[in-house]
A = this chain, B = another copy of it.
């Protein structure tokens, strides 16, 4: 992989917002914007969402997921496919908790409505203008 592409993928993976994809109970793909709370390179991403949200139930039934990061101005994007795990234990929730999260989860890190999603990437698709490249996560 070219160094320029590698750098652009890492830059995109740092975006604050990411479109998260799931498959619903009728087999339809679903997508929603979420906050990219923390990530370890491009292998593992942590997101937070409402325990009561449709997405949490979907991932508990079917962990197949995508994360899609896009920079509309540079017409550049990267989509990772992989597995999503739902965490409801206090240890994980305290680990990800940060100041300001009270506005979404008023009861704090142990709020029953606060859920953490952990995404593990398996494969990537990088797009830039009309070019595309499929890559394994180990390459980056």
Q: Hey, what's the 0/1 contact readout for A37-77 against B, CB within 8 Å counting as 1?
A: 00000000000000000000000001011101010100001
* Distance, CA A23 to CA B30, complexed state (A): 10
Residues of chain B lying within 8 A (CB to CB) of residue A77: 32-33
A66 pairs with B19, CB closer than 8 A: no
How many of chain A's residues have a CB under 8 angstroms from any CB in B? 28
Residues of B within 8 A of A27 (CB): 23, 62, 64
A66 and B17 within 8 A (CB): no
A30-B70 in contact given A21-B21, A104-B130, A130-B104 (Cβ < 8 Å):
no
A52 to chain B, nearest CB (A): 11
Contact across chains for A29 and B127 when beta carbons are under 8 A apart: no
Partner of A66, one of B28, B33, B70: B28
A64 touches which one: B19, B28, B66, B130 (CB < 8 A)? B28
Contact B81 A30, beta carbon cutoff 8 Å: yes
A133 CB, min distance to chain B CBs, angstroms: 12
Let me know if A24 is at the binding interface, CB within 8 A: yes
Q: Residue on B with the closest CB to A50?
A: B130
A23 adjacent to B23 (CB under 8 Å): yes
List 10 A–B pairs whose Cβ atoms lie within 8 Å, in order of A's numbering.
A21-B30, A23-B23, A24-B81, A27-B62, A28-B81, A30-B79, A32-B68, A32-B125, A33-B68, A33-B70
